[in-house]
Amino acid sequence: MMKKYSFIFCALLFLFSCTQGQEKRAGSGVSPDEVSTPNTSLSITDESELITGPLAISRVGDVLLQNDKIKVVIQKPGKDTGLGSFGGSIIDAVPLGSKSGDHFGEIFPLVNVEWTVNYYKYKVIEDGDRKVLRAFGRIDVYDYLDIDFVASAADALVGQKLGYAHRFDDRSDPFDIYDDLKGLDTEVVTDYILPAGKKYVIMKTTYKNNGKQAVKLPLGEFVNGSGSLSELIPGLGYSPDLTAQIGGHTPALIYSGMDGIDVSYGYFYDPAPFIDPKTKEMRSTASLSYSGLTAVLFGEEFLKIFPLGSSTPPDIHFSLSAGEEKTLTRYFVVGDGSAGSVLDAGLEALGVKTNPIQGKVVDANGNAVENATVAIKNKGGATVVTYRSDSNGSFSGLLPTGEDALSKSFGKGQYTVEVYKEGFHLNGSSSSGECTPSDLDLKLFAKVECVLGESSSIVFSNAITDGRSPLVARLTIVGEDPSPNVSNGKGVFYDNDLLSRPFGIVDIKYITAKGTIALSNENSFQLEPGTYRFIFSHGPEYDIHDEQITLAAGETHEFSDIVLKRLIATPNYISSDFHVHGIHSPDSAFTEERRVLSAAAEGLDILQSSDHDYLTDYNRAYRALIASGEVAANSMQTAVGDEITPNQYGHLHAFPLEHHAEDVAGGALDWSYSPRDEISTSPDYAMTVDEIIEAVRKDPGEEVLQINHIMDSPSGLLVAAGWVTSPFYRESFSVDPLTTYANPVERRLPAVGVASAYPFPFSGNGLISNKFNAIELEVGGNINNLQSFYRSALPSWFNLLNVGMLLTATADSDSHSEKNPLGLPRNYILSSVDPKDDGKQYENIDLEEYAFNINEGRVIVSAGPYISMKVMSEDGNEYHVGDTAKGKQVEIEIEVQSPSWAWFDTVEIYANTEPVPVDDETGTPFEGVAADPADFYQPYRVPQYSYRPTKSFRVIDQSLESWKEADGVITASVRTSLTVTEDTWFVVLVRGTKETEGYRSLFPVLPQALLDDEKSVNDLDPLDLEAVYQHENVGASAWALTNPVYIDLEGDGFEAKYQHLRSPF
């Protein structure tokens, strides 16, 4: 588990999406309406001048800086949707001649933790033979990031008090309160300078103290590398763990391109203003990366700015004496895809003492190897930089000598050299090869030769089919990785978060409809010699192909004529994963084409986008892959969605929506906008939940409004806002369901009308609404361990049903990376067009009908099994999931099918089930933390409940007599009746339980299977699947869930059991 204080800061930036505030000082700021976009000599006037690429958002009117090396765009002033919030900052950049195009997110100042600089105008200054863009801004609340709640979250989740000083809290205006902040001039000027012949832009930002006493505040930068990039902190490695990053020094940030990406980026700063005046030593600079955003605090330590223990004041190092001004100089570097090209330019800009290194990578036969990665690590430490070998196998660069403090902050001068190339392994080691010399003392020029070890090859002679037509399929390679990327919790050669592989997974690849590997146009790949299981899959409607192979050095294994048969028919239902992230989310790296390919490989009928505050339209990429033959025509429909991401109270999801190509965010809603905002240091507001819903409803047609990952803390609305869902606290505490223990004012929302009410009532509360349609009970990253689903999410939904909030239950992958595949879990939606079963065209799937049926509850959730249900009532009519039957007795017919790899043994019915709040530790009702609703529903705490099924049918007690397995399919049927004395909802839950003989986990089709990643499984051979299934630390059971059928006893309309107790709607 994460160390307590690590979580705190993880949460601190997880909010890369938050906002809320209070009333502003009159006349203290600039109205956003006064922002100007002058036409300068550097302004883009024609679309042909724009930078292109997967993340390029430049538009006419932005500013272009260009020399003979690079192109960089600075966005025109204005309010924006998403992470950047405001213009005036660098948004796009490429080296000249780049084929990959722009992969950069954005970079902007960090001021006093929760503020940034909002640039409202600029002009071009002539400086000799060069032009300088001068941007004028004002210190303003960072609309998209509100981190003051982190103290409450830390206390609720891990019981750790965190010192979060009021001087960092934007709920008030500390610049108008604290004597050592009042003197700060809120007007800020930044110069952007692109020197001739250089690969970097110089950014100079000046802060002034107009007061008569010293000003103290932390300053820094927010950097979102985004794109298909790996973040490297020199000396700390790629994606270091939180503890190492928080406690270490960040001299720079480098974003190296992933395979095939020919652009990289870097962020460097001049440390001169952050020298300790007493010791004359460089102060350590802390940083924290989470969800794609990195916060850098110049010359500050996180645990001194946010000390453990709520009463400890912050220890702030940066200051401006009375009347002083300081200019902070930073460098934004654009490289050729490698980290080395970025470091070279950054060290040159800073004047760091260096010596050259050059080398060559060859295979065992002496042949040059292209695109190998050479890592230079501090001796005994982490990676400083990596280089890519060119077509001649060569690499070169500059390394810090370590002779002085500045040089040593980047590299100690004594280094270890390692090499990596996918598919190669040096026998008897855990590396791809060996470098000579392996240790460097960089006092002089260094020359290195790296020789790769042994390799074998996998070749596909034809496409994978379903017996008739080609399929896109996923290949999961199971075994032990002979050459892992990780060393002491840090990536050595590339990002270890997005590109990490879970236990037992060597690699995941997608095989296209023409038999090539992913988007490479190659039909083969290299693999280290060894023994592996090759698992080919195409989603839960299909069987898998499982083949164990031992590869000798130099051997080529050929796969041909692989057939994945469709075993499970789902007539009149189509599959969709509503929650999928790609490159337009700051915390995902995968291109639109890669996401289309992965959706096709998982057999999804609809690819539904849900990037953070960005509307992604996958149709263009889908059409491109059809044209290239990598995806079959008529194989999916696409839909556009928006994960609306106010992390201060939880993530919401709206779909299907219309993509607007002219908008930099595709037309996504700017939930952080408020007409009361101004460009000033005073508090800002964000939209309430109801305001967001109302704004989304303006989109033409039917929309689904979903609460995402409801039991995720801190980003699930029910948990973050402390929703009361149980009716059982009314009698003893007079606490109604659908009230909330979170204060809206603390979330940048208006105060509730009744200030004395606690918990806060439904009426006028910006944190609660009855206008949602759907509720996401679980996401793929959690289904390896379903404790939260069974103990918290499912019973919370039951509570909402019982008080009349009849939301459609869903579950999705929430996939950000390929270790978390799309479509596990997924949703099956009733549809009049079902191409897999009726042969109709995917383009004829009506997205209006799709949304309508989701809103009507005509959805079956599946993490493997598929449930069909038919209900006969006393009136002789037949009903299905989402319908309302009439009468006091119904006959229920349940049919369950599943491929053998998605094993189940239990069918349960829940009818008007009443979950009881229990203590987390003892499970005792209404004791411990469950004794008081204020504790039980404390914001950010995940409540737990006890409950039982109304009826249960299990293999282990022979009550599920119809269960059988044959020809790769498990089936079971249940015939039962239900007699009711009140209006009743009921649902069916299917699941696998470990105590039944024959149990199988979803591993490796679900790659993440360990219940606890930190528990050792060194004794477990991932190739022995039977042993894996039975291991105490392996979870990932299959399950499925229907939405309710409602029974209206009297025929006068369905009324929920406790509907009369809820706060008035």
Asked whether 854 and 1037 are in contact (CB, 8 A), the reply is no
Same structural domain for residues 288 and 387? no
Q: What is the pLDDT of residue 23?
A: 32
Buried/exposed code over 406-440 (b: 16+ C-beta within 10 A; e: otherwise): bbbbbbbbebbbbbbbbbbbbeeeebbbbbeeeeb
Nearest in space to 737 (alpha carbons), one of 754, 715, 714, 718: 718
Residue 888, class by beta-carbon neighbours within 10 Å (0-12 exposed, 13-18 middle, 19+ buried)? middle
- Res. 26 pLDDT band, cuts 50 70 90: very low
Same structural domain for residues 309 and 418? no
Tell me the mean pLDDT in the region 741-763. Answer: 82
Same structural domain for residues 260 and 312? yes
Domain boundary pick from 412, 436, 452: 452
Given CA atoms 710, 711, 712, 715 in this order, what sign does their dihedral have? positive
Same structural domain for residues 174 and 302? yes
- Res. 29 pLDDT band, cuts 50 70 90: low
Nearest in space to 424 (alpha carbons), one of 380, 361, 479, 500: 361
Same structural domain for residues 382 and 309? no
Q: What is the pLDDT of residue 9?
A: 39
Asked whether 304 and 297 are in contact (CB, 8 A), the reply is no
Same structural domain for residues 293 and 372? no
Q: What is the pLDDT of residue 2?
A: 34
Asked whether 889 and 978 are in contact (CB, 8 A), the reply is yes
For 375, the domain range is 352-452
In tens, the pLDDT along 431-445 reads: 999 999 999 998 778
Distance CA 167, CA 295 (A): 18
Same structural domain for residues 140 and 201? yes
Whether 503 is in a domain gets the answer: no
Residue ranges with strand state E in 822-955: 826-830, 859-863, 866-873, 878-879, 884-886, 889-899, 906-911, 916-917, 945-946, 951-954
- Res. 941 pLDDT band, cuts 50 70 90: very high
Same structural domain for residues 327 and 376? no
Is the pLDDT score of 148 beyond 80?
A: no
Domain boundary pick from 421, 452, 483: 452
Distance CA 505, CA 486 (A): 14
- Res. 154 pLDDT band, cuts 50 70 90: low
Q: What is the pLDDT of residue 171?
A: 87
HEC letters along 105-172: CEEEEEECCCEEEEEEEEEEEEECCEEEEEEEEEEEECCCCCCCCHHHHHHHHHCCCECCCHHHCCCC
Asked whether 1047 and 1040 are in contact (CB, 8 A), the reply is no
- Res. 32 pLDDT band, cuts 50 70 90: low
Residue 302, class by beta-carbon neighbours within 10 Å (0-12 exposed, 13-18 middle, 19+ buried)? buried
Is the pLDDT score of 13 beyond 70?
A: no
Is the pLDDT score of 5 beyond 70?
A: no
Nearest in space to 67 (alpha carbons), one of 8, 21, 129: 129
Q: What is the mean pLDDT of the chain?
A: 92
Whether 539 is in a domain gets the answer: no
Distance CA 226, CA 93 (A): 12
Tell me the mean pLDDT in the region 808-824. Answer: 96
Token couple for 263? 């652009």
Q: What is the pLDDT of residue 25?
A: 30
Same structural domain for residues 259 and 388? no
3-state secondary structure of 570: coil
3-state secondary structure of 859: strand
Q: What is the pLDDT of residue 612?
A: 97
In tens, the pLDDT along 97-116 reads: 999 999 999 999 999 999 99
Asked whether 302 and 288 are in contact (CB, 8 A), the reply is yes
Same structural domain for residues 143 and 240? yes
Distance CA 450, CA 433 (A): 7
> How many CB atoms within 10 Å of residue 627?
10
Distance CA 403, CA 484 (A): 32
In tens, the pLDDT along 334-359 reads: 999 999 999 999 999 999 999 999 99
Whether 155 is in a domain gets the answer: yes
Buried/exposed code over 172-198 (b: 16+ C-beta within 10 A; e: otherwise): bbbbeebebbbbbbbebbbbbbbeeeb
Picking from 72-76, 748-752, 829-833, 885-889, which range would have the lowest pLDDT averaged per residue?
Answer: 748-752
Asked whether 1054 and 983 are in contact (CB, 8 A), the reply is yes
Asked whether 331 and 267 are in contact (CB, 8 A), the reply is yes
Whether 500 is in a domain gets the answer: no
Picking from 574-583, 672-681, 895-904, which range would have the lowest pLDDT averaged per residue?
Answer: 672-681
**Single-letter code of the amino acid located at 236:** L
Distance CA 497, CA 332 (A): 24
Is the pLDDT score of 749 beyond 70?
A: yes
Distance CA 813, CA 823 (A): 6
* CATH number of the domain encompassing residue 402: 2.60.40.1120
Is the pLDDT score of 18 beyond 50?
A: no
Please state the domain count of the chain: 2
Picking from 116-125, 148-157, 877-886, which range would have the lowest pLDDT averaged per residue?
Answer: 148-157
Classify 523 in phi/psi space as left (phi over 0), alpha (psi -120 to 50) or beta. alpha
Helix-strand-coil split of the chain, %, nearest 5: 15, 35, 50
Q: Give yes or no for a cis peptide into 437 (omega within 30° of 0).
A: yes
Whether 397 is in a domain gets the answer: yes
Distance CA 557, CA 560 (A): 10
Distance CA 715, CA 645 (A): 8
Distance CA 799, CA 795 (A): 6
Buried/exposed code over 29-67 (b: 16+ C-beta within 10 A; e: otherwise): bbebeebebeeeebbbeeeeebbebbbbbbbebbbbbeb
Whether 364 is in a domain gets the answer: yes
> How many CB atoms within 10 Å of residue 1044?
25
In tens, the pLDDT along 1037-1062 reads: 999 999 999 999 999 999 999 987 76
Whether 9 is in a domain gets the answer: yes
Distance CA 679, CA 853 (A): 44
Distance CA 368, CA 374 (A): 14
3-state secondary structure of 957: coil
* CATH number of the domain encompassing residue 228: 2.70.98
Asked whether 451 and 551 are in contact (CB, 8 A), the reply is no
Distance CA 434, CA 420 (A): 9
Domain boundary pick from 335, 361, 381: 335
In tens, the pLDDT along 863-894 reads: 999 999 999 998 889 999 999 999 999 999 99
Whether 883 is in a domain gets the answer: no
Residue 760's beta-bridge partner residues?
740
Who contacts 787 (Cβ-Cβ below 8 Å, separation ≥6)? none
Same structural domain for residues 108 and 213? yes
The larger pLDDT score, comparing residue 1061 to residue 963, is at: 963
Which ranges of 262-332 would DSSP assign to H, the alpha helix? Answer: 302-305
Percent of the chain clearing pLDDT 90 (strictly above): 84
Same structural domain for residues 320 and 417? no
Distance CA 643, CA 651 (A): 7
Q: What is the pLDDT of residue 519?
A: 93
In tens, the pLDDT along 474-511 reads: 999 999 988 888 877 788 999 888 888 899 999 999 99
